[in-house]
Amino acid sequence: MIGLVGYENLCYLIYDEPKLVQAVFDQVGSRMVQYYEGAASIPTVGFLSSNDDWGFNTQTFLCPEDMRKYVFPWHKKIVEAAHRNGKPCLLHSCGRFDEVINDVIEDMKFDCRHSYEDNICPVEEAYERLHGRIAVAGGIDMNLLASGTPEQVYARSRAMLERTAERGGYLLGTGNSVPEYIPLENYCAMTRAALERDA
């Protein structure tokens, strides 16, 4: 939606032309659901990941009520498509989620959420809050991966694996994507922690 109409325009349109906003969301959402239904039906696909950044450091891009009206119903259908085909569904979405995490878990029924940032909620804290309700993925912070030492990255990765080893529900990974500016030795330090844990 933001790519089609722009973020500022979308905010105005929600108040000025709500029927148009709903129509465009429906067109985008129905196409996304069709894509995920196709992907979920492929036997070699092990799980689905719905990637849709919903917010930033302090809140969601739209107020929770508008997220529930325009955005969440389509993600619920994506998860349903995955579950109908026996596949778990992960949500990748950046931003602060305090006001909508119950929607993610209880209404949309995502199995896992990815993208945790230290300046919003460190992954250790998120895991303690969410364990038993939804799996937690990633959270080895991008700032640490970009500017820390391999030893620091390894230590935090290892500590996170040890914290979750007996309780489960955690997938080791970065706080977001793996951009080219991440030093290779830091990325390898994170993966080494996982490989040694499995050895």
pLDDT at residue 176, rounded to an integer? 87
> What interhelical angle do 123-130 and 150-164 show, nearest 10?
10
Domain ranges of the chain: 1-115, 138-199
- pLDDT, tens digit only, all 199 positions of the chain: 999 999 999 999 999 999 999 999 999 999 999 999 999 999 999 999 999 989 888 999 999 999 999 999 999 999 999 999 999 999 999 888 999 999 999 999 999 999 899 999 999 999 999 999 999 999 999 999 999 999 999 999 999 999 999 999 999 999 888 999 999 999 999 999 999 866 5
Please tell me the distance from the alpha carbon of residue 111 to that of residue 87, in angstroms, as a whole number.
10
pLDDT at residue 67, rounded to an integer? 96
Please tell me the distance from the alpha carbon of residue 25 to that of residue 19, in angstroms, as a whole number.
10
- Residue 70's Cα: distance from chain center in Å? 18
